[in-house]
Chain A
Amino acid sequence: MDILYKIFIDPFVQMGTAPDLLVQTLWEGLVGGMLYALIALGFVLIFKASGVFNFAQGIMVVFAALTLVGLHAAGMPAFVALALTIVVMLGLAYAVERVVLKPLVNQPDIILFMATFGLTYFLIGFGELIFGGDPKIMITEELYLPKGAITIKALGGIIGLQKLDIAAAIIATVMVAALSIFFSKTRIGRALRAVADSHKAALSVGISLEQIWVIVWFAAGLVALVTGIMWGARSDVSFALDVIALKALPVLILGGFTSVPGAIVGGLIIGVGEKLAEFYWGPLIGGGTDSWFAFVIALVFLLYWPHGLFGEKIIERI
């Protein structure tokens, strides 16, 4: 009985008696979830446009952040380094299209997936070879990102909001809005959606697949750069982050591989879910649950919605 009380009643009593802690936990969950959502967004962009499940997205985040910090450490002003990093991500998109995607056109999806594994390992080795494997500190001040915290006295306690997190939320919202306008209003955006619908039909009306692929990989690279800055500001920049980047996978599963709103909603659900679970239920089973909780949520969801909450239903034919 005691254990049942601890699992089913006690956490809710705690939530009721200390609402300020609950709000604080929810806020942290939302911020963490937003970062997962941003990584997932990069996945979705590439998956929609080319059908490639890009395992390397997490590493692209770290690689972009490392390039930015590395260029700054080499003596460049912050904004020059930022511009150069964008150029590097464009170059990466070109290289990936030339070297990896183009020779593998028309191969089964699983082969392309494996190829992005190869890309992941290549980028890890390449990044560490050039910038070194030790953790680095993100140049938040030089990029005029705010720091410090706002404390709000409410609900019988103090709620602390990092200014950086608020800035991150604003930037992420602006970026998602910009991307959706880009997709729906511009010529290239329409071409992208055409490619996502059907490669063959898009080719037949004269859309260049190669160009589209470079553009999506570049867009995913930009998303990766923004994510990398936000993430690097919260912790150090190092390749140890790649395991955390795997967290974007359950987010994708929740949201479905093809849905941008799905990626965002999924990210927020996972972020809030794992923070709440760790804070209220984690101590019961020894803590550290956030390493697997997201995956188990995703697994449970998958049993009921095998294509995610917002994903397209796949009809299989013989």
Chain B
Amino acid sequence: MFYREAGQFKTDYASDQAVFPILQDRIGIVVIVLAAYSLVLAQNDFLLNAMMIPFLIFTLAAIGLNLLTGYTGLLSLGTGAFMGVGAYSCYKLTTIFPGVNIIIWIIVSGFFAAFIGVIFGLPSLRIKGFYLAVATLAAQFFLEWCFIRIPWLYNYNVSAAIEVPQRELFGVIVTGPRATAETRYLIVLTIVVVMTWMASNIVHGRIGRMWMAVRDMDIAAELMGIRLLPTKLLAFAVSSFYCGVAGAMLVFLWYGGAESTVFSINQSFFVLFMIIIGGLGSLLGSYLGAALIFMLPIVLRFVPPKFGIPVHAATVEHITFMTVGALIVFFLIVEPHGLARLWQIAKQKLRVWPFPY
């Protein structure tokens, strides 16, 4: 009833090509961002620490993978390792230069991940489809091995794990065990919002169109004058940059310390499921997919006891696996384009309601 575009005339090209052409959408985005920031006022550590922070971090990783797999059509199973590169390089940078602002190092570590991503993206010009997926597995296992076997990466700690040191920003503790959930949440939220905005600009612009042309058919794209190697490598670089920043935030702003197992192949699959369920080639889908896949275990853990059904932790884990697997198959059958497409359909229905014909 309120979701109408009647009366909103587009008088120039800019308003016609806007990302959110409808006024209500623009209001909605502002309201959502403000609501996200105002969650800090809730003073609820569980909500922020166990749900919102990891949800946002995984969203960022999912956006990164979506730029590569959803927009450029290059299937990658190395996300976990690229996140790891971000985390380990951030750790090395901040131990070597402790005086520099930690936020800068989190962003810079993304460039290290981008560099590694480009190296492992090089075969993508010759290798396609499933073969490329296996090639990225080489990146996953090789980098994981590096995280264990190169002690320099974790400063020769006996535990072979990275421990996040305490760092301050304008007198406020932002990392380490004494940082409050509110501070970390605000930093994560700001980085994720800014980087989503950047990703949106990239995919709506010239680069995004080149990526999508390559995804739809790379030979045809090449004939149209798109140079494949730079385009594919750029996709690998940007994607790994996002994953690297997500990995650095995962360790510095959520876990507070990590071993190499955090960046195992399962993490790669986890992020891949998010974008499949959320929707390949959709930024909104990255958010929805991360929300569903991440919240599902939490819901499964907390809802049954509320109804008086005792459930073992191990059983919950098994049921989660089953549900995630079944959901993936279900979504692929019902809507191969994921939650984002369902949301679009719902919006379309709302626009023409109550006279659909």
Query: Measuring CB to CB, which residues of chain A are less than 8 angstroms from any residue of chain B?
Result: 53, 99-100, 103-104, 107, 109-111, 113-115, 117-126, 128-129, 133, 243, 246, 249-250, 252-253, 257, 285-289, 291-292, 295-296, 298-299, 302-303, 306-308, 316, 318
Contacts and interface: CB of A to CB of B under 8 A. Distances in A.
Contacts of B129: 109-110
Given A133-B314, A291-B141, A306-B127, A121 B322 contact: yes
Interface stretch (B46-54, B93-101, B325-333): B325-333
A100 B329 contact: yes
Interface residues of B, number: 46
B322 A129 contact: yes
A299 B135 contact: yes
A117 B273 contact: yes
B304 interface: no
A130 to B, nearest CB: 9
B256 interface: no
A100 B317 CA distance: 23
A121 B328 contact: yes
A120 B270 CA distance: 13
Contacts of A111: 332, 336
Contact of B138 (A53, A257, A296, A308): A296
Contacts of A117: 269, 272-273, 276, 325, 328
Given A129-B319, A295-B138, A306-B127, A118 B329 contact: yes
Contact of B325 (A119, A292, A307): A119
A295 B223 contact: no
Interface in B96-123: 123
A291 B260 CA distance: 14
Contact of A298 (B134, B273, B325): B134
Contacts of B333: 103-104, 115
B126 A302 contact: yes
Contacts of B318: 125-126, 128-129, 133
A124 B269 CA distance: 14
A316 B127 contact: no
Given A115-B328, A115-B332, A302-B131, A286 B149 contact: yes
Interface in B249-298: 265, 269, 272-273, 276
Given A295-B142, A306-B127, A126 B134 contact: no
Most buried by A among B126, B131, B220, B314: B131
A133 B321 CA distance: 12
A269 to B, nearest CB: 15
B138 A114 contact: no
Given A115-B328, A118-B328, A246 B149 contact: no
A61 B193 CA distance: 44
Contact of A120 (B145, B220, B223, B325): B325
Given A118-B326, A125-B321, A129-B322, A299 B138 contact: yes
Nearest to A127: B318
| Interface pairs A-B: 9 shortest CB-CB | A125-B321, A122-B325, A118-B328, A121-B325, A125-B322, A295-B138, A292-B141, A118-B329, A129-B318
Interface string B136-174: 011001101100111000000000000000000000000
Contacts of B272: 117
Contacts of A129: 315, 318-319, 322
B324 interface: yes
Chain A CB within 10 A, most for which of B150, B323, B324 = B324
B328 A253 contact: no
Chain A facing B: main interface SS: helix
Contacts of B131: 253, 302, 306-308
Given A110-B129, A122-B329, A292 B145 contact: yes
A53 B156 CA distance: 41
B134 A252 contact: yes
B313 to A, nearest CB: 11
Contact of A107 (B130, B217, B336): B336
7 contacts: A103-B333, A118-B329, A121-B328, A122-B326, A292-B142, A292-B145, A302-B135
B325 A291 contact: no
Interface string B5-31: 000000000000000000000000000
A129 B318 CA distance: 6
B149 A118 contact: no
Nearest to B336: A111
B75 interface: yes
B269 to A, nearest CB: 7
Contacts of B217: 318
Contact of A306 (B126, B223, B326): B126
B196 to A, nearest CB: 24
B324 A121 contact: yes
B219 interface: yes
B219 A246 contact: no
B209 to A, nearest CB: 19
A246 B329 contact: no
A125 to B, nearest CB: 3
B200 interface: no
B77 to A, nearest CB: 9
Contacts of A289: 145
B320 interface: yes
Given A125-B320, A292-B145, A302-B126, A318 B223 contact: yes
